[in-house]
Amino acid sequence: MPDFASFDDVKLHYEVEGDAFPVVLLHGIIANIELNWRAPGIWKALVDAGHRVIGIDARGHGSSEKPHDPSAYADNAMAKDVGALFDHLDLKQADVVGYSMGAGVAMRFAARDDRIRRLVLGGFGGRFGQGRDVDRSRFAAAFEGDDESSTPEEFLPFRRFAIGSGMDMGALRALVRSDQFEGEFEAAKIRVPTLVVCGDEDPMQPHELAAALPDGRAATVKGDHFMAVIDPALASEIVSFLS
């Protein structure tokens, strides 16, 4: 399984399958290539459609290195990782698909890099939250302690999913305490065709962000934020848009 050293020497894991035009997949928080893309069938659908599919485990996740220092996730580190992956694989142009956290990373990368042909933003409405430190602290509390008694109710699904998936809780705490989920997204700078797609029961909805993009369009599939990825319609929407 291939790895590479990113811009700051953090070792990142990636996987590649298929031929022809490349599509880079960026997963959400508390996920990885397997959980976000392979298990739901999105990876296979893209390979079957003739794409060269490239997935990366974000820092702190999967088989990539898992720093426990918030500074390792700061200053758009994950977007810089995408650029480093493009450089490592000598990708002159590719489609990019991100889900949840990965969609935010994709937006930040797309606003600063011209190597994207088409963009898909899943489970994302253009903002992570209100950008307040108190929100970061409450989110980080989901990954602390031996039980869930101190976890804010809205973050209980994240804690339970992280534990059930065997995630590194120290890395998740560091990620959430960094500035990864802060700041604005520069929709006006993203001029490539972009699909924004969310579950119909997800609090994040696609229409406002799609309208703010110069070439955006919105779609919905069945499910909430966690379950939308397993709706076969999501894979169909992605494949159709990239085709």
The residues spanned by each domain of the chain are 3-129+187-242
Distance between alpha carbon 170 and the CA centroid of its chain, in Å?
Answer: 19
Largest Cα span, the chain: 50
218 close to 204: Cβ distance less than 8 angstroms: no
Q: Does domain 3-129+187-242 have CATH number 3.40.630.10?
A: no
Q: What is the block-wise mean pLDDT of the chain (243 residues), using blocks of 10 residues?
A: 93 96 97 97 98 98 97 96 98 98 96 97 79 63 78 84 89 92 87 97 94 97 95 98 95
* Enclosing H/E stretch for 103: helix 101-110
pTM for the whole structure: 0.94
Tokens describing residue 96: 């990019």
Spatial distance between the Cα atoms of 73 and 173, rounded to a whole number of angstroms: 11
Alpha-helical segments (H) within 8-100: 33, 42-48, 77-88
Within 10 angstroms of residue 137's Cβ, the number of other Cβ atoms is 12
